[in-house]
Structure 1
Amino acid sequence: MKDIYIYLENGTFLKAKSFGAEGTEVGEIVFNTSMTGYQEIATDPSYAGQFVTFTAPEIGNVGVNENDNESTKVHCKGVFARAYNDDYSNFRGEKSFSELLKENGTLGICDIDTRYLTKMLRDSGAMMMIASTEIDNIEELKLLLDSSPRIEDINYIEQVSTTQSYIHKNGAWNMSTMSYNKAVMSDKKVVVVDFGVKRNILNELVEAGLEVEVVPSSFQAEDLIQRYESNEIGGIFLSNGPGDPLTLSNEKIEVQKLIEKNIPMFAICLGHQMLSIAHGHDTYKLKFGQHGGNHPVKNSKNVVEITAQNHNYNVPDSIANIAELTHINLFDNTIEGVKYKNKPIFSVQHHPEASPGPHESKYIFKEFADSIK
């Protein structure tokens, strides 16, 4: 393992070991509290532009495999691990985590105190950083970091969204057959606007009985409205994605056009935030975000669900003026879900597809399917 050097914008300078690709990368550092799922996290498009600090101490011990990818590649800038294990042991493992990172040009950083990093981010908030296997001079690293654009200045949606429309036919994972359930013919078709959609979200939409077509983030609202009015599609889903939603000015205009037509819509994470912005209620940035698989959320029936989270931005309390609050985060009382008044539109901030257990939120996909004619 080569040495790798890390400089954070608060002046912290660290040295560690590299187990991924070599090079120099700039991004925002966050921490994730999930105890499993490092492959799913690394391949989640919502992490584009970020370094992810794993709080689980042992990373790599089950390897990786094609079926657990949430997209076609690794999207984060790099990952931090307290201890990395290159020798994996899992009957489903196909290669090591370091091989996956190297194939995708992603930095892997280990032999570092991730508890120290997590506490720093908890106290100081998410921040920009630079990591390099090539540069060991603190002043040079600082100069490069200071001259690089911040994550909120970059439209990562353009990098992670599909460029061509396609049909998704896989349903939920079937452990008994070690494969995905295939879609059955459905007369309920929805369009997924891809801001960086996770594969398992598409799987759950199919599993709920929907025919799923995925379109680029550069969609034209007029096209979708025409297809809805001609009964070709019955609804629209706005996906998760990376970056600051306030930078998506063109997408905001298109979503506003969809809202005006009262088309049934469901959204998760960034899509949830886009609906809020399109309704005139701008999002705000959380101190260190919510990233993990153990967040308790109370729904409108006063039932507590355990949810997976991955977001740095949140919708404001003012959204309650135009929407019913359906989900609240019990860690910090932030808004986790809304249903807009007098409209067939609802959304959640958390990820109901992620299966954190034991009481989950997958029923939301069925509710969306039931709302589609």
Structure 2
Amino acid sequence: MSEVYDLIILGGGPAGMASAIYGSRSRLNTLVLEAKRKTGGQPSTYHDMENYPGVPETTASELMENFRSHAEKFGTEFKRGEVKSLEVNGFEKVVKCKKGEEYRAKSVVIATGAEPRKLGIKGEEEFKGKGVSYCATCDADLFTDLDIVVVGNGNSAVEESIYLSKFVNKITMIVIHDEGVMDAEKILQEKAMENEKIDFVWNSVLEEIKGDGLVEKAVVKNIKNGEKSELDCSGVFFFVGRVPSTDFLEGVVDLTEHGYVETTKQMETNQPGVYAVGDVRNKVVRQVITAAGDGATAAVMAQGYIEEEEYWQNHVVEADKPALVAFWSVTDQESMDLVSQLENMELEDKGYKFLKIDTYKNRLISGRYDIEEIPTILKLEDGKVASKLVKPEKEEIEAII
């Protein structure tokens, strides 16, 4: 039988690698599956990194390399693999890759991120790799001393334009808003406005890309008067948002209408033991620092889930005798009194395995058995509920023993 990992992380971006650091450091047998040759996720396609706390001077790729080294220091295993499907069979999760590899785990963190959004305009697909690009750090040097067009006006569009200006002759940013209005942060807007290599075409959209084998012209349409014009250029860069990589999760976990994974604040999906972090989950702020925070949270939750499930499997589901389980809380005196009463009933001598479950620390088990009030007692035989008593009297307990 193949090895069963404690934690498999799907994706090697900042969220995934933060999960790996926290998981491995907690002695979880951790595997990171990354589809691309190089780990780092979306930040690996950027150059500058100015907003990661405590690291005022670094590049995005250097920061991601440090993330990976940190994870490897604690024993994280890294493998290449593009995920085809995820199956959840109770405590066992099965990850299948497109080349046939299959991995098993007790818990899974989905950190597959998002891919650049494509607009589907005429010429975009035709000239992909022939002047059309979605990655500045990947392709900037190919456009040295040439004129290019940038589509987009958010943070990533402006940051990447500033980076591209170190290589190209001239950049024309096509902005859909009125003059002076952009979606990027003010400090980035100011940097772009002050950059002599960056020009702007306002109230406009890109309608078509033309060329003979390679990009030669961009057709721009003014959205207010409908007029079209052609810009001579050697390349078109798109920075218009991203699409979550969740196709393989249809029917497995809950997704929003736009394909993002729905989670709790604890990064939990609707599947116990399956978590989602970073850009792939439904959230407001998508930055490296928030992705890392997501990853740390998910790993801590995964560790608690594994401990809780293994305890339940070993002491209840696979027990060789019936189990009597008392759900209690240190904040509820009635439940504490009942636990004391049960401890004095010599249940072990009567052929029962007696367990106490703190509802605060064991939310998953409590939720699975719909424990809404405490104290509650469950009698389980062969792992199945035989009796359930809510706020029971002593006579009721004696009746089910």
Bucket of the pairwise TM-score, normalised by the shorter protein: under 0.3
Q: TM-score, normalised by structure 2?
A: 0.20
Larger Rg: 2
Q: TM-score, normalised by structure 1?
A: 0.21
